[in-house]
Amino acid sequence: MSDDTDEHGYAAGGRQRREARGWTEGGNRPGTDSERRLARLWADVLGVPVNRIQRTDNFFEIGGTSRAAARLVIALDRHVSINEFAGTHTLTDLAGLLDQRLGVRRAPVTAAVPALG
């Protein structure tokens, strides 16, 4: 535990932000393969269940730190810079940027997405 993290390794204040958001386990789950892969990475770095990561989540608002962001940029083989990562506001936007960089065609998410698990 450091001055900028709590006893679970979350960014200071991250737990309160997550609790205030009332994390739900439905509705807005990652819908594309890229979103699901990215959600697993975020969940691993944040130490939370993957089913808590939603398409509209912002990494920093749900407890991510700059150190964790740097780890993710490395895990993503530096296909995005740390500045691009910080400036891309949602999981779905970041997945879209990665898909664009990697030449992946994205199908729109139109139906309910089954639970990850």
Q: Which residues have C-beta within 8 Å of that of residue 105, sequence separation ≥ 6? A: 99
Separation of alpha carbons 91 and 85, rounded Å: 10
User: Using one digit for the tens of pLDDT, what is the confidence trace for 85-116?
Assistant: 999 889 999 999 999 988 877 655 544 444 55
- Quick check: is 42 in a domain? yes
- Quick check: is 3 in a domain? no
Residue 75 has pLDDT above 70, yes or no: yes
CATH of the domain at 34: 1.10.1200.10
- Quick check: is 19 in a domain? yes
- Quick check: is 5 in a domain? no
Region 55-65: mean pLDDT is: 93
Region 44-58: mean pLDDT is: 92
Higher-pLDDT residue of 7 and 102 is 102
Q: How many domains does the chain have?
A: 1
pTM for the whole structure? 0.67
Answer whether 13's CB lies under 8 Å from 21's CB: no
Residue 28 has pLDDT above 90, yes or no: no
Answer whether 76's CB lies under 8 Å from 53's CB: no
pLDDT value for 27:
60
